[in-house]
Structures are given as structure tokens and as C-alpha cells.
Amino acid sequence: MGVLSQSPLLPVDIWFRRLNTLALPKTLILRFYAQDIVTGPGQTSYEIARSNITAMSPTSFGQLYMVDNQLNTGPDPNSPRVGRRQGLAGFSDLNEPALYLSFIFVFQGGLYNGSTISVVGRSRIADNERELSIVGGTGVFRLARGIVIYSTYSRNSTTGNSVFKYTLYFTYY
């Protein structure tokens, strides 16, 4: 047997080579909610770094967080769970409060179990709705491309904990 036939990626290789002749893109709209817990029990967002100017910056420039938020079908944290939102959020603008976001939606259970969608973009905090780019995916969502529209569904002003509503519009193969 040749090296290629022993490769664990052979099924992906065959799938990719057949894209030109067999595959048509599929479209999908998904909606779910992320529970962003920044304080208290069950915390899912942690500060991991800050620059030497963050404390003096009116925009928190240089502050970086790692997140691992629960995704649910509804805004209630006890609604059915669909996966996790994992990645980075960092204050990246010297002039206005805005975040650089880079994360993946990891689906757990159901039709999309083990699949991911990769997202990146800029989030201007003052905007009611924000738009991010879907730049890829794995599993069921290979070669995903599209956009994410998200908003703050609710925020507790005392704890800072939030619920974000996500709607994904994308194609995949």
C-alpha cells in the first residue's frame, strides 16, 4: 500500500476531490443563545492578559479574554443545550469600545455533533446588532462561509453576565 492509502485523511481527500463534480453548496440558518458568565459560580469567561496601557485606556485596549460559553436553543440556560462557544475576545480599538472576536461554535449532540463553525470579526460594543464573518467549518459544516448576526439578549448590570443571541446564515458542502 502507498502512503496516501494509509492516510487518516483519505476520506476528506476523496470528499474534496469530488466537490467539483458532485457537490452543490447547502444553505442553513441556525439560531441559538450563548450564556456568557463573567463572574460567580459557573464562570465561562476569564481575563487572560492585559497590556501595560489597559488600566489607563478609556476603551480597555489590550484586555484579552478566553471564553467557553454554553450554547442553548433559548435564552434560558436550562433550555436544550446545543454546544459551546470557545475562543478569544479582546478589546482592540484605541478610540471606541470594540472587540476583536475569534471563536468557534462547537456542536455537541444531534445531527451536527462534533462539527464546528469558525467565526472572526470586529464587534463595536455600542451597536445593537453586530455582524461577524463565518470563515470555515469542520465535520458537517466543511468549507462553511457566511455571516453571523448577534445581539445582547440580556445583561445583568450587577454581575456583568450576559446572554447573546446568534443567528448564522451560511453555506457549506
* pLDDT one-digit tens code per residue, 120-159: 999 999 999 999 999 999 999 999 999 999 999 999 999 9
Q: What is the DSSP letter of 142?
A: T
Per-residue pLDDT band at 4 (split at 50, 70, 90): very low
pLDDT value of position 18? 77
**Rounded CA gap, 151 and 27, in Å?**
22
Give yes or no for residue 106 having a pLDDT over 90: yes
DSSP secondary structure string, 3-52?
HHHH-TTHHHHHHHHTHHHH---EEEEEEEEEEE--SSTT--EEEEE--T
Q: What is the pTM of this model?
A: 0.87
Q: Which residue has the higher pLDDT, 127 or 9?
A: 127
Per-residue pLDDT band at 99 (split at 50, 70, 90): very high
Residue 97 DSSP SS3: coil
Domain total in the chain: 1
The range of the structural domain enclosing residue 130 comes to 3-172
Dihedrals φ, ψ of 164, to 5°? -110, 140
Output the domain CATH number for residue 165.
2.40.480.10
Comparing CA positions, the residue from 164, 67, 65, 168 lying closest to residue 115 is 168
Q: Is 8 in contact with 48 (CB distance < 8 Å)? A: no
**Rounded CA gap, 106 and 86, in Å?**
7
Averaged pLDDT for residues 97-101 = 97
Averaged pLDDT for residues 77-89 = 97
Which residues face 150 on adjacent strands? 130, 166
